Chains A and B, each alone.
Chain A
Amino acid sequence: MNYHFEFGWLFEYYPQIIKGIGITIQLIAIGAVAGISLGIVCAWVRALGPLWLKPVVAAYVELIRNTPFLIQLFFIFFGLPSLGLQLSELQAANIAMVVNLGAYSSEIIRAGIQATPKGQFEAGASLAMTPFETFRHVVLIPSLQRIWPALSSQVVIVMLGSAVVSQIAAEDLTFAANFIQSRTFRAFEAYMVSTAVYLLLAVLLRQVLGTVGWLIFPRRAAK
């Protein structure tokens, strides 16, 4: 192997990389907040919600969990316009991330709800709360706390999966790497650098989610 590594291009192209990182962070921030919210709603429907809604949500969750994110993205970006729904690259990417994480997180959150001791629901009912009030005030937070580590892992997985939004020309970190390699022909270096950045982002994201968990959950709450 007679290859000379060359990272000089970094000086010229770092603004692209910074911008890409910004888009990737924005994608996962919106994806996580909206996706987990959607997941909570879906989990509520599947565990405690109205009967007629359950199969609808179940179909959504199963469909998303059993198809590749790339195809979901293509369907939203290329397919939906034929129904008259024009989306920008970034809008399509955001929607795809929310829809994807919504399905995965609903399954995780549902497991947390199902692990709630029956006595919690009974205690809520005995205090004259409606099932929804019991869910909202008694069941939800401990349920989320129970599955927070699994949910955090899923958010990281979705963040890493967001690399494919470059394929619809959303200008994320991977898009920047592709752009640089097409200009400099330094494919290996460009991808090494962006891979390292992703690794860093994954580590940071885990820290952030850990901190969020530490902030929103009562310190000495039951398991």
Chain B
Amino acid sequence: MSLIEITDVRKSFGDNEVLKGIDLDVEPGEVIAIIGKSGSGKSTLLRCINGLETISDGSISVGGAQLLDDEAHLKALRLKVGMIFQQFNLFPHLTVGGNVMLSQMVVKKTPKPAAEAMARKMLERVGLDHKFDAYPDELSGGQQQRVAIARALAMQPIALLCDEITSALDPELVAEVLAVVRELAAEGMTLLMVTHEMKFARDVCSRVVFMHQGRVHEIGPPEEVFANPRTPELKQFLGVH
């Protein structure tokens, strides 16, 4: 059994079918890059895995937790898989430490001292333990995104979904965030990332998924996908002729 099993997933917004039957199995420790044009359905797929979108058909399970549309099942699923957003989505009314501690205490009922210890550990992991008492609006975009990663990690997920996590950053801040992700990958974290960083995908990922018009158009190890794109759509996307 794979860690993440996505079977014939379909998703429509009104009459518009954005996912037209997606099958994808992810093994533990895999790092998957999902690439494709905007509107290809790649972000929607990621959001479905976390239950932020309901699916019209098919099934998704993560570590045995099924995606079902009720609060108990959603919670079980979301405890196994964390998510990082393009816009960081830190809680502006809480300090950095508070951001990382909140869901541990509220969702997992972790006592405060343990939650704080975990928060400090995770912030140290992303190199921001000294910002524990700062508020999000006092941080740069790159720092905010690293806090968001620490916040997700503190829930000890078995997989992490990254939705264009560097797209909202100034160019000079991209590297610090990618460095953190690279480290996570090296430590064996299972990662699914929607990204435009092709070089990063080539260096770090075990497989690359190219999505086109709501389908997995090509899939394979990065050296294959990037060096020998088989379909004209992927060739065009990568700009090779």
Direct contact of A and B (CB under 8 A): no
Chain A residues within CB distance 8 Å of chain B: none
